[in-house]
Amino acid sequence: MPDSSDADLIDGRVLAQAVRDEVQSAIEEWTQSGRRAPFLSAVLVGDNPASEAYVRGKEKDAAEVGIETETHHLDAATLQGDLLDLVNELNADPSVDGILVQLPLPDHIDEQTIIDAVDPSKDVDGFHPENLGRLMRGSPRYIPATPYGIMQMLSRCDIDPEGMDAVIVGRSNIVGKPLANLLLRRTANATVTVCHSRTQDLAAHTRRADLLVAAAGQAAFIDGGMVKEGAVVIDVGINRVEDSSTERGYRLVGDVDFDDVRPRAARITPVPGGVGLMTRAMLLKNTLKAAQLRAAPE
């Protein structure tokens, strides 16, 4: 039971629903003016159950807001050259607005080569070097969905990062680095520290964070002693821990020990029900943007 002094939850369910509603009405307006619905093409290679579940979730979310989708499900043994051919076909297809290649790819395929091959104007994941470069320059086109979702969570909860000491644990290209760039923009004005597995005395950094973002992929490893009183805590981690009491035999937990940290924090995101839902919603926003950009190129 939460105590009255516990942190307020930042509820990803409510915030993501608001984003989906906005995207849905924008798409209704878009199609009512005689345009076709935005079209997202997903590419899934192999049969990783988590990837399959992610793609199914994305198809379902898209259908709910009026985005049309197709999924190219390729065999795990697909050659890199054949995958590149498919990406090039989708790049050239004028009916495709957004392309999403579900990661991770099988080991024999070089992910970077595939990411680089996606037409940057259709790169709704925002992973192409051109889109990452634009983000770093401060004029983003597609913002990767997870950091985009985190920024939206903050602004929709009236949390202004200006002047905050923001500490991000994790330096991946899809979360930590783009989020650091977003928090550094003149629209956010946080002072940013990015930590990683070689950081000396991690707790010394996290304990001075006004805004702490955990994106390391280590189950519940941020405990209350690592968090400043009154901090805003954003938990990006999604980790499976064994749990024989559940039907699946596991449950999902974040990187933050929620029960230990909640009494110290001012605001906190839960897992599940937090950043993951916003990530899904932001992909829809990027796909709408892709359709808009095709109709009126920059």
**Shortest Å distance, C-beta 177 to ligand NAP:** 9
Please identify every residue annotated as catalytic: 58, 102, 125
| Separation between Cα atoms, residue 209 and residue 231, nearest integer Å | 7
**Shortest Å distance, C-beta 255 to ligand NAP:** 6
121 vs 152, beta carbon nearer ligand NAP: 152
Residues in touch with ligand NAP (CB under 6 A):
146, 169-172, 174-176, 195-199, 202, 215-218, 236-239, 275-276, 279
**Shortest Å distance, C-beta 219 to ligand NAP:** 8
**Shortest Å distance, C-beta 169 to ligand NAP:** 5
**Shortest Å distance, C-beta 121 to ligand NAP:** 23
Chain residue whose CB lies nearest ligand NAP = 172
86 vs 202, beta carbon nearer ligand NAP: 202
**Shortest Å distance, C-beta 195 to ligand NAP:** 5
132 vs 169, beta carbon nearer ligand NAP: 169
121 vs 269, beta carbon nearer ligand NAP: 269
117 vs 195, beta carbon nearer ligand NAP: 195
The 3-state secondary structure of the chain reads CCCCCCCEECCHHHHHHHHHHHHHHHHHHHHHCCCCCCEEEEEEECCCHHHHHHHHHHHHHHHHHCCEEEEEEECCCCCHHHHHHHHHHHHHCCCCCEEEECCCCCCCCCHHHHHHHCCHHHECCCCCHHHHHHHHHCCCCCCCHHHHHHHHHHHHCCCCCCCCEEEEECCCCCCHHHHHHHHHCCCCCCEEEEECCCCCCHHHHHCCCCEEEECCCCCCCECHHHCCCCCEEEECCCEEEECCCCCCCEEEECCECHHHHCCCCCEECCCCCCHHHHHHHHHHHHHHHHHHHHHCCC
| Separation between Cα atoms, residue 49 and residue 25, nearest integer Å | 32
Orientation of helix 145-156 relative to helix 12-32, angle to 10°? 110
| Separation between Cα atoms, residue 128 and residue 119, nearest integer Å | 8
37 vs 167, beta carbon nearer ligand NAP: 167
